[in-house]
Amino acid sequence: MVSVKLWRTEKTPVQTTHTMFSTSLLLLLAAASYVHGVELTQPASMTVQPGQSLSIHCKVSYSVTSYGTNWIRQPAGKALEWIGRICTSGGTDYSDKLKNKFSISRDTSTNTITIGGQNMQTEDTAVYYCARYTQ
For 56-103, write each residue's pLDDT tens digit: 999 999 999 999 999 999 999 999 999 999 999 999 999 999 999 999
How many folded domains does the chain comprise? Answer: 1
d(C-alpha 83, C-alpha 104), whole Å: 9
| pTM of the entire predicted model | 0.73
Phi, psi (degrees; rounded to nearest 5) at 40: -130, 120
Range of the domain at 20: 2-132
CATH number at residue 123: 2.60.40.10
**For range 25-50, the mean pLDDT:** 60
3-state secondary structure of 90: coil
